[in-house]
Amino acid sequence: MVVSKLKGPGVLALDFDGVLCDGRAEYLESSWRVYTEIWEGSEVDLETLRPRFYQLRSVIETGWEMPLLLRSLQEGMTDASILENWSAVVTETLEQNGLTQQEMARLLDEKRDHWIETNPQDWLAHHQFYPGVIPRLQAILKEATTQVYIITTKEGRFARTLLAEQGIRFPSDHIMGKESQQPKRKTLTSLSQKHDQPWLWFVEDRLKTLLSVADSPELDAVRLFLAAWGYNTARSRQQAQDHQQIQLLSLQQFHQDFSHWC
């Protein structure tokens, strides 16, 4: 796929968590609140588990899995087992505890909503935008030559609240969250059809998501970037570098003009 180094995207699709925002502190706190409701009486040393939870955030596909990661760590599972067998770990943990994906998602949203309602500033303080991403995003929006969309597995309203706190307000249909109930590749397909735009670029921190897009013939013209600063591993970054359709993007490159991305 050949993309001019002199031309930026007509449409820029950005993941939220792991690309714009580091929300791992919030993930851990929300996971703990869900955890204590499901596994009452089980003591968790959050500060001891925090570094491993942060490091293993890369295995999480959607937020409801996070309390299961905390449970796996508390149960003594090794990092290698979690990294290599996460899908099986999720299935087994749900079955062993009589839980469902829907119940986990509901509990997580309830805990977040309660936190936001009772102490919104504390919830906001548990998120940190990566250095320089807000000024860069503001500059792109101000130039108005690129349509910007947020595609996230987080509830769109949460992403919207966090961006608004930074003074950034997107049109309601430019933040596509968990409520869209479809894989990101389908959302990208809809965007490419809506804009009839060959210059569609997608920045994501999860390699598996990018590989899914790369395997979709209808999205062959989409330029794919793995955010090297996000929730991914050295192995994933190397795989991205070795893939013909995926480019590894550094945070320094993200700060710069689009001509420095390719």
Domains of the chain: 11-22+129-260 (3.40.50.1000), 24-125 (no CATH)
Q: Which of 143, 162, 142 is nearest to 154 (CA)?
A: 162
Top-confidence residue, 199 or 20: 20
Q: What pLDDT was estimated at residue 7?
A: 72
Tell me what the pLDDT averaged over the chain comes to: 92
Mean pLDDT within 21-30? 96
Q: What pLDDT was estimated at residue 169?
A: 86
Confidence grade of residue 193 (pLDDT, cut at 50, 70, 90): confident
Confidence grade of residue 109 (pLDDT, cut at 50, 70, 90): very high
Alpha carbons 97 and 117: distance in angstroms, whole number? 29
Query: Does position 230 have pLDDT exceeding 70, yes or no?
Result: yes
Coil vs helix vs strand at 102: helix
Long-range CB pairs of 76-80, under 8 A, 24+ apart, other chains included: 79/52, 79/55
Confidence grade of residue 197 (pLDDT, cut at 50, 70, 90): low
Mean pLDDT within 11-19? 97
Q: What pLDDT was estimated at residue 49?
A: 95
Q: What pLDDT was estimated at residue 2?
A: 41
For 230, 244, 250, the CA distances from 237, given in Å and listed in that order, are 10, 13, 11
Q: What pLDDT was estimated at residue 39?
A: 93
Mean pLDDT within 201-220? 95
Phi-psi category of 215—alpha, beta or left, where left has phi over 0 and alpha has psi -120 to 50? alpha
Give pLDDT tens digits for 38-67: 998 778 889 999 999 999 999 998 899 999
Alpha carbons 245 and 174: distance in angstroms, whole number? 25
Query: Does position 4 have pLDDT exceeding 60, yes or no?
Result: no
Coil vs helix vs strand at 11: strand
Top-confidence residue, 213 or 181: 213
Q: What pLDDT was estimated at residue 3?
A: 44
Query: Does position 229 have pLDDT exceeding 90, yes or no?
Result: yes
